[in-house]
Amino acid sequence: MTPVRVAVADDQRLFASGMQMLLDAQPDMTCVGTAGDGAAALELCASVQPDVLLLDLRMPVLNGIETLARLAATGEDRPRVVALTTIRRDDAVLAALRGGAAAFLTKDALPDVVTATIRDVHEGRPAPTEAEALDLLRAQGVPVETHRRDEVLDALTAREREVFLLVAKGLSNQEIAAAVFLSEATVKSHVRAVLTKLGLRNRIQVVITAHERGLVRA
C-alpha cells in the first residue's frame, strides 16, 4: 500500500513536530514536510506534492485562508486540505470550508480522530467532523443565488441530481444507499460523478453549492 503523503503547515513548531511523529508512526502515512507559514507551505506543496495538507488557519506571512485560495488557483493537482483551528465556531473555519477545505480539526483532537480524518479526506469519504461542519455552514447561512439553480441541475443525470441533493442534506454514502436502494459502491460512483461534473472538490462544497442555488433549505 502506498502511504498517504501528508504535509503540515503550522507556526507552532512543537505542534508541527508532534504531528510529524504521529503521522510517521502510522503504517499507511508519511509526513513529507512541515512549514511554519503560508508562503513556506505553498513552496512545500509545490516541491513535494502531498496528498493531504494539514493547514493552520492563523499563521504569519500568509494565513491559512489566503494559502488555501492560492492553492485553489494552482489546478487539480493540489492537495486535499484539512484546516487546523483552536476554535470550533470560528469565521475562519467557515471561510476555509467555503474555500475548499475538505474538513477541519481542532488542535486538541485525539490522535485517532486526526488519523481517521486524514484517511477519510484522502479517500473522499465524509470526515468525522463533517456533521459539525455542515452545522456551522447552516448556522452561518449561505447567500442564495436562485437565478443559477438550473445551471447546476442541468449538468447532472436524474440519479446524480438525487444523490447531489441527498449529499447536500448531509447524508452519508451509507444513508444515501439505503434511501435510494443502491449499493454503497454505486453511490460513491455517483458522488464522484457529481463532483467531477460540477468542478467541486468535496462534499462540503456540494452543500455550499446547493444552498447558494436555493436547492435545499438550511
Give the residue-averaged pLDDT of 48-66.
94
Q: Please report the pLDDT score of residue 201 as a whole number.
A: 78
* pLDDT at 20 > cutoff 70: yes
3-state secondary structure the chain: CCCEEEEEECCCHHHHHHHHHHHHCCCCEEEEEEECCHHHHHHHHHHHCCCEEEEECCCCCCCHHHHHHHHHCCCCCCCEEEEEECCCCCHHHHHHHHCCCCEEEECCCCHHHHHHHHHHHHHCCCCCCHHHHHHHHHHHCCCCCHHHHHHHHCCCCHHHHHHHHHHHCCCCHHHHHHHHCCCHHHHHHHHHHHHHHHCCCCHHHHHHHHHHCCCCCC
pLDDT for position 213: 78
* Per-residue pLDDT tens digits for 82-133: 999 987 666 788 888 888 898 889 999 999 999 999 998 998 877 777 777 7
pLDDT interval class at 65 (50, 70, 90)? very high
Per-residue pLDDT, 1: 75
